[in-house]
Amino acid sequence: MKDVARHAGVSISTVSYVLNDSGPVAPDRRARVLDAVRVLDYAPNESARRLKRRSASTVGLVVPDLANQFFALVAEGVAAAASARDVLVVLCAPEATEQPSHHAGLLRSQRVDGVICLSGTGTTAGSLLDLARIGPVVLVDEQIPGFDMPAVISDGRRGAREIGRHVLQHGHSRLAVIGGPTQLWTSGQRLAGYREALAAAGRDPDDVPVYVGDYRQRSGTELAKAALAGPPDIRPTALLCANDLMAIGALEYCRSVGLRVPEDVSIVGFDDLPMAALLTPRLTTVRQPAREMGHRAASLLFELLGDKPNGAGDGMFPVELQIRDSAGPPAS
């Protein structure tokens, strides 16, 4: 910057003025400065800048599992919104094996302005508290009772209720739920939705067993195996999976043991990953607008950070039942 000033024959503060539009500068001098900037290929040092102003134009993005396409799409939405405002995104993909507070510390030291946190196994009240000390935190697809942090969520409960009803309408009498991690809000919501559907159909929700998975494909496979272990006249004829990845795992298991879907067992998921419609059978599921949710989360965070209100309230995104081929009437 000193170089630029010298090259342009002005003082260093004049350079700053033109770079930030923060002071009146005579047109010719401004031109000289801009010119020097180009000639010297000068790029301001953001570290120094941040040190002075107390804001970083940077947000943290905590995502548990990029291999889950739902998260990847949310991340893309966040990145797009951030890019549109020239704010940087620092990516944290905490591994299950590490202390959740570790990343919080890193992010805090970076002085990121705020954080977007995607629902995932690491989301405990404690780790959220760590993040909250950094600055505003917006949650995606998660909510912690008693904390009321801003959150971008979708109406998972209703989605689960609708897909539950859809399955029940086919006349299944024995069902099982393959749910997500119990500590996750979404898991609870979806489970609640399934139970409402059951109750609405005059069934006792407590009659259907719930297998607790971790939202990964593998656990879908394993839990399907557990759920479908008994003899044909005992075993469930429909599996309500709390996300698509687990539904896919379940589908795989069925395929591997020769169970037909949906004739022998109906399987439904949740998320509507791009691949859901490409499976055979095409997966009946509930669509969540992942990219939009990421975008909204970022906008909401910017607003919290003092951007002019951009209409990004923390409302609920609607959810949409996608009826395809993986659920149907039981064969019997």
Partner DNA sequence: TTGTAAGCGTTATCAG
Partner DNA sequence: CTGATAACGCTTACAA
Residues that bind DNA (CB under 7 A): 1-2, 10-14, 16-17, 19-20, 22-26, 29, 42-45, 48-49, 51-53
Residue 257 found at the interface with a copy of itself (CB under 8 A): no
- Residue 328 binds which entry of a copy of itself, DNA, none, with Cβ cut-offs from 5 to 8 Å by kind? none
Considering only residues 3, 19, 34, 76, which one is a binding residue for a copy of itself as defined by CB under 8 A? 76
- Residue 11 binds which entry of a copy of itself, DNA, none, with Cβ cut-offs from 5 to 8 Å by kind? DNA
Burial 28-53 (b: 16+ CB within 10 A, else e): ebbebbeebbeeeebeeeeeeebeee
Considering only residues 233, 234, 278, 309, which one is a binding residue for a copy of itself as defined by CB under 8 A? 278
Strand partners, 238: 175, 266
In angstroms, rounded to a whole number, what is the distance separating the alpha carbons of residues 223 and 241? Answer: 10
Residue 258 found at the interface with a copy of itself (CB under 8 A): no
Nearer Cβ to DNA (25/115): 25
How far CA 158 is from CA of 11, 39, 161, 208, 291, in Å, comes to 63, 59, 5, 19, 20
Binding segment (CB under 8 A) for a copy of itself, from list 72-80, 195-203, 312-320, 321-329: 72-80
How far CA 282 is from CA of 159, 194, 247, 270, 278, in Å, comes to 18, 21, 11, 13, 6
Q: Nearest approach, Cβ of 88 to a copy of itself (angstroms)?
A: 5
The pair of three-digit structure tokens given for residue 68, joined into one six-digit string:
């889950």
- Map residues 201-220 to x or -, x wherever contact with a copy of itself holds by CB under 8 A: ----------------x---
Q: Which residues contact 15 (CB under 8 A, 6 or more apart)?
A: 1, 4, 5, 8, 33, 36
Considering only residues 48, 200, 226, 257, which one is a binding residue for a copy of itself as defined by CB under 8 A? 48
